[in-house]
């Protein structure tokens, strides 16, 4: 049974990053899992390839040579989302700089608004570590509160900017550890201590970020 009226995957990769092969493979697995789990025929997916000379500004994100011809399609799909939809954001997480594939939380939020996002849909960020602060690492993720772990994270800043710009109250899901996708579409995060062993539904590995009508954020561990 579907838990959203629409699903849409927005994938952001870097033009010359060999590691993006993993992103593509895991996205294919993720799509397969969604199709089977929710009995879907397909999921609209857009791939944004950032040029090697990418500069992290909203203008550059929206007008660089790699995205300019895709804007109409991106806009159509973002405008088509409702409060009951799910937007899935894919890309490499950079916890030290709060970026997904070189794009900051604020620039991504502004760009999505400019492209037409107008719904308080659920947003599932599947990049590594984008739900935790850069000063939280190792087993601290298992002992501290969700607020302590995630208050300064990419996901928190992204949600806050969407609210500031348009009053959106998107429920955002983000991981506190590196994440991968298994062949059956299930997601695993790597253990906090060594980050070498994959665990499905690892405790404290995902934070759900909510924001109220006056912009106050709340964070809870999903499990």
pLDDT at 138 over 90: no
pLDDT for 1: 59
Contact 115/74 with Cβ under 8 angstroms?
A: yes
1-19: average pLDDT: 84
Tell me what pLDDT residue 85 has.
98
**108: in domain:** yes
Model confidence at 137, pLDDT cuts 50, 70, 90, reads confident
* Mean pLDDT, residues 96-112 taken together: 97
User: Measured between alpha carbons, how far is 2 from 127 in angstroms, rounded to an integer?
Assistant: 23
Q: Is residue 196 part of a domain?
A: yes
Supply the pTM of this predicted model.
0.95
pLDDT of residue 16: 67
The whole-number pLDDT of residue 20 equals 73
CATH of residue 206's domain is 3.40.50
Sheet holding 198-199, edge to edge: 179-181, 187-190, 198-199
pLDDT at residue 195, rounded to an integer: 87
Over range 69-88, report the average pLDDT: 97
Mean pLDDT score, 130-147 = 93
Domain assignment of residue 41, yes or no:
yes
Q: By the 8 A CB rule, do 88 and 11 touch?
A: no
Classify residue 102: in a domain, yes or no: yes
Res 82 pLDDT > 90? yes
For residue 146, the enclosing domain spans: 7-221
- 1 located within any domain: no
**Residue 145 reports pLDDT greater than 90:** yes
Number of independent structural domains in the chain = 1
Lowest mean pLDDT among 15-24, 69-78, 162-171: 15-24
User: 90 φ, ψ to 5°?
Assistant: -115, 145
State the sign of the Cα–Cα–Cα–Cα dihedral 45, 57, 215, 154. positive
pLDDT in tens, 14-68: 876 655 788 999 999 999 999 999 999 999 999 999 998 999 999 999 998 889 9
6 vs 17: CA distance, rounded Å:
30
Q: What is the C-alpha to C-alpha distance for residues 206 and 16, in angstroms, rounded to an integer? A: 29
Within a domain: 2: no
133: CB partners within 8 A, 6+ apart: 95, 148, 149, 150, 151, 152, 153
Other Cβ atoms closer than 10 A to 84: 14
Q: Tell me whether residue 42 is exposed, middle or buried, using C-beta atoms within 10 angstroms of its C-beta: 0 to 12, 13 to 18, 19 or more.
A: exposed
Average pLDDT of the residues in 121-138: 95
What confidence score (pLDDT) does residue 19 get?
A: 58
């Amino acid at each position: 049974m579907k838990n959203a009226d629409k699903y849409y995957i927005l994938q952001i990769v870097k033009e010359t990053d060999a590691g993006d092969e993993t992103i593509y493979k895991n996205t294919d697995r993720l799509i397969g899992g969604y199709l089977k789990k929710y009995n879907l025929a397909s999921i609209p997916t857009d791939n944004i390839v950032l040029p090697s000379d990418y500069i992290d500004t909203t203008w550059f994100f929206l007008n660089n040579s790699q995205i300019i011809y895709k804007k109409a399609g991106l806009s159509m799909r973002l405008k088509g989302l409702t409060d009951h939809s799910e937007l899935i954001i894919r890309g490499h997480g950079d916890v030290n700089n709060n970026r997904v594939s070189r794009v900051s939380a604020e620039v991504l939020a502004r760009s999505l608004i400019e492209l037409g996002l107008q719904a308080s849909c659920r947003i599932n960020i599947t990049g590594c570590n984008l739900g935790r602060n850069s000063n939280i690492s190792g087993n601290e993720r298992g002992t501290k509160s969700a607020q302590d772990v995630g208050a300064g994270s990419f996901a928190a800043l992204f949600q806050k900017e969407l609210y500031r710009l348009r009053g959106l109250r998107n429920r955002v899901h983000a991981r506190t550890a590196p994440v991968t996708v298994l062949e059956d579409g299930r997601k695993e995060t790597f253990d906090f201590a060594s980050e070498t062993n994959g665990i499905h539904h690892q405790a404290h590995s995902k934070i759900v970020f909510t924001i109220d009508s006056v912009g106050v954020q709340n964070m809870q561990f999903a499990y």
